Chain A
Amino acid sequence: MRLFLKNNSLTLVFTVLFLGSLLGQSLAGWKLQNEEQLAHDSPTVSFARYLVSSDFGQAVTENWQSEYLQFTCFILATIWLIQRGSNESKKPEDAGRESDAKQLIGRHAQQNSPAWAKLGDWRTALYSNSLLIVMALLFFGSWFAQSVTGWTQYNADQRDHDESTLPWAGYVVRPDFWEKTLQNWQSEFLAVATMAIFTVYLRQRGSPESKPVGAPHDETASSG
């Protein structure tokens, strides 16, 4: 058990932080929702009902989609794009999808390589892109969930003000949807660009997210 905790501490710690933050968000959102309900002389909602509300679902999924988008873009862009001197980038000469030999696939696979890396058929091609595919599916899925929960909220507001409601296709071209979407995207792209360029000149001793402290500024793709 102690070995499991040690070997998985990075994921486990962030799982605890994620669940704690999600609980905090839900409690704060529930309190805010009920304050607004009381201000409008409307009945308050239970915590369980709030957890399955479009209000909470929209707040959760709009942030999820942007995180998955960040990783989708980062994984895809770093195949070909380079930031010279960055720990987050490959060396300029390695740009591209690289050879089968370097990627250890098909007949170049090792004895302990994943089974689908050894096959050399469509399954190897699928597995070769599985990180990008799963991340992209989670992005599109959570973006869709954001759109339908946002649509429901938008129509509820319209009904409260005796105004006309919209079909889903009408909502996803409204400024409401794009403001909620792009406010999250801009911060993710800022974070990626910041990380790519900061690691050229700044260091954190001991972190694999940084180059070794003594690595020269023009050294690309080293980790320490």
Chain B
Amino acid sequence: MTGTRALFWLYVVLPVAGIVLYAVVGLAHN
């Protein structure tokens, strides 16, 4: 189950990273 748990966290971390990145990009470039 370790690999499955890693996949789960990937799908939590990946969108959060994308959201933070583009929120910062949007705010920084304005």
Chain A residues at the B interface, C-beta cutoff of 8 Å: 4, 7-8, 11-12, 15, 52-54, 57-58, 60-61, 64, 68, 134, 138, 141-142, 144-145, 147-152, 155-156
Please determine whether A152 and B26 come into contact, CB atoms closer than 8 angstroms.
yes
Please determine whether B22 and A60 come into contact, CB atoms closer than 8 angstroms.
yes
Q: How far is the CA of A149 from the CA of B21 in the complex (A)?
A: 10
Nearest-CB residue, chain A, relative to B1? A7
Q: How far is the CA of A4 from the CA of B25 in the complex (A)?
A: 36
A54 proximity list for chain B (CB < 8 A): 22, 25-26, 29
Please determine whether B30 and A57 come into contact, CB atoms closer than 8 angstroms.
no
Please determine whether B4 and A8 come into contact, CB atoms closer than 8 angstroms.
yes
Distance to closest chain A CB from B4 (angstroms): 6
A152 proximity list for chain B (CB < 8 A): 25-27, 29-30
How many interface residues does B have (CB within 8 Å)? 18
- Chain A contact residues, majority secondary structure: helix
Please determine whether A57 and B15 come into contact, CB atoms closer than 8 angstroms.
no
A148 proximity list for chain B (CB < 8 A): 22-23, 26-27, 30
Please determine whether B18 and A151 come into contact, CB atoms closer than 8 angstroms.
no
A8 proximity list for chain B (CB < 8 A): 3-4, 7
Distance to closest chain A CB from B6 (angstroms): 10
Q: How far is the CA of A60 from the CA of B21 in the complex (A)?
A: 12
Nearest-CB residue, chain B, relative to A146? B22
Question: Contacts A148-B30, A152-B30 given: A61-B22 contact, CB under 8 Å?
Answer: yes
B4 proximity list for chain A (CB < 8 A): 7-8
Nearest-CB residue, chain A, relative to B30? A152
Considering residues B15, B16, B22, B27, which has the most beta carbons from chain A within 10 angstroms of its beta carbon? B22
A4 proximity list for chain B (CB < 8 A): 3
